[in-house]
Amino acid sequence: MLPQDKSDDEFVTKPPATIGDGFWLKKGTFKSAPTGHTTCFTCHSADTGILPAPQTCAACHQLKPPQPAGDFDAKFAATLGIDNKMMFDSWRRRSSAGTFRHEWFSHAELSCATCHNVLKMDTAKPETTKVGIASCATCHATPTSDDGGALNFEIDSRAKTPTFQCVKCHITFGKMAIPTSHTDAIKAAATAK
Ligand code: HEC
Ligand code: HEC
Ligand code: HEC
Ligand code: HEC
Ligand code: HEC
């Protein structure tokens, strides 16, 4: 069994001794979604008559649209020594922050709606399930780096060292160019306070 919930283990698997500040997957990172029909068919059944009926497969299943690139690295994931398809399926689908962890005091205290707009979500349109950086900036962006913002620190580090990789929130995205959403978030944090 992998560590979860009240387990004292912080990491999903034992990190190498040389890990330092490097990233290693922690428990409580991913939330599950309904994995089968049972959840739905308790209400959607022939008995209740609530539509869609179990037999109308197409009401719930469509051809899967192309998926955006995930903040996921299959090679790195393999080195973690985890063989859990469901966890990897979630990770692969993360098109915003691959390292974001749900089970973490400062994150778990927030209402889900701080980051997820459930009414606008359509799983057939991956762009609608993405979490925007504005949801992180309230805490991780500050007027300047000296005020402790991780986003400020990484943007400043990139300016100093062009090869700097952003690792706080990202697995693979952190090697790429800085999106304007990130610099806009810094500007907003600088003017708000
Ligand atoms: C501080 C922001 C934040 C809060 C609060 C939050 N989430 Fe998330 N959640 C995220 C991010 C970021 C992702 C990754 C989205 C992506 O990259 O597509 C995510 C992904 C998910 C997923 C997809 C599986 C996964 O873990 O990648 C589910 C399901 C989910 N959240 C449910 C919830 C529920 C339920 C709550 C409230 C109990 C919640 N979230 C609260 C930020 C948050
Ligand atoms: C607690 C009861 C309940 C559960 C559990 C439930 N549903 Fe529903 N669902 C409803 C009701 C009530 C409606 C509205 C039916 C209507 O308007 O005739 C509905 C409507 C829908 C619709 C039609 C929405 C539309 O816009 O036409 C879809 C699709 C659907 N549900 C999918 C699901 C899926 C997928 C699950 C499982 C993950 C699920 N439901 C679980 C009660 C439930
Ligand atoms: C009320 C909505 C609903 C209806 C109707 C429905 N399903 Fe599903 N189905 C779901 C949900 C929700 C899941 C779980 C999705 C997940 O794991 O991400 C699922 C999962 C599945 C899976 C597993 C998919 C996978 O990726 O492993 C299969 C296969 C499937 N359904 C086939 C069918 C068939 C065939 C029918 C019609 C006889 C049907 N479903 C009717 C909601 C529905
Ligand atoms: C506090 C967390 C956080 C930090 C720090 C962070 N990012 Fe992001 N990043 C996000 C979120 C959330 C998204 C998805 C939504 C968005 O772009 O607003 C994202 C998206 C991206 C994307 C995908 C492109 C896109 O527009 O969706 C790239 C590339 C990226 N970030 C690069 C970087 C780089 C480079 C750094 C370091 C300078 C960095 N990020 C620092 C949270 C972060
Ligand atoms: C309400 C404030 C708040 C929000 C909103 C928030 N965080 Fe955090 N987060 C924190 C605090 C506090 C910490 C602990 C100090 C630190 O590591 O910066 C933390 C830690 C983290 C860590 C390190 C966790 C660990 O276990 O090492 C990551 C990664 C992270 N946040 C990403 C995000 C991303 C991505 C978002 C937006 C989707 C986000 N956070 C939104 C307050 C927040």
- Give nearest CA residue, ligand 3 atom 23: 36
Cα atoms found within 13 Å of the Cα of residue 171, Cβ hemisphere only: 22
Phi, psi (degrees; rounded to nearest 5) at 11: -100, 155
Q: Determine the angle formed by the axes of helices 150-160 and 180-192, rounding to 10 degrees.
A: 120
Taking a C-beta distance cutoff of 8 angstroms, is the pair 168, 154 a contact?
yes
- The pLDDT score that the predictor gives to residue 9 is 84
How much is the pLDDT for 154?
97
C-alpha angle with apex 172: 167 to 176, nearest 5 degrees? 90
Query: From the alpha carbon of 169, which atom of ligand 5 is closest?
Result: 29
Strand partners, 11: 26
Q: Is the CB of 42 under 6 A from ligand 1?
A: no
pLDDT, tens digit, for every residue of 35-86? 789 999 999 999 999 999 999 999 999 888 888 899 999 999 989 988 888 8
Distance CA 175, CA 122 (A): 29
State the pLDDT at residue 193: 52
Residue-level pLDDT at 65: 85
Q: Which residues contact 77 (CB under 8 A, 6 or more apart)?
A: 88, 91
Any idea which residue has 């009414």 for tokens?
A: 119
Query: How much is the pLDDT for 83?
Result: 81
pLDDT averaged per 10 residues, the chain (length 193): 75 89 89 86 93 93 88 91 86 94 94 94 88 96 94 97 96 97 95 72
Q: What is the pLDDT of residue 1?
A: 61
* Distance (Å) from CA 140 to ligand 5 centroid: 7
**CA of 116 relative to ligand 1 center, distance in Å:** 7
Q: Indicate the SS3 state at residue 46.
A: coil
Specify the DSSP class assigned to residue 12: S
Distance CA 29, CA 23 (A): 13
Instruction: Report whether residue 34 contacts ligand 2, using a CB cutoff of 6 Å.
Output: yes
In sequence order, the 6+-apart residues with CB closer than 8 A to the CB of 120 are 128
What's the DSSP call for residue 26?
B
CA torsion sign, 19 to 72 to 161 to 145? Answer: negative
Residue boundaries of the structural domains of the chain = 64-192
* 186: DSSP letter: H
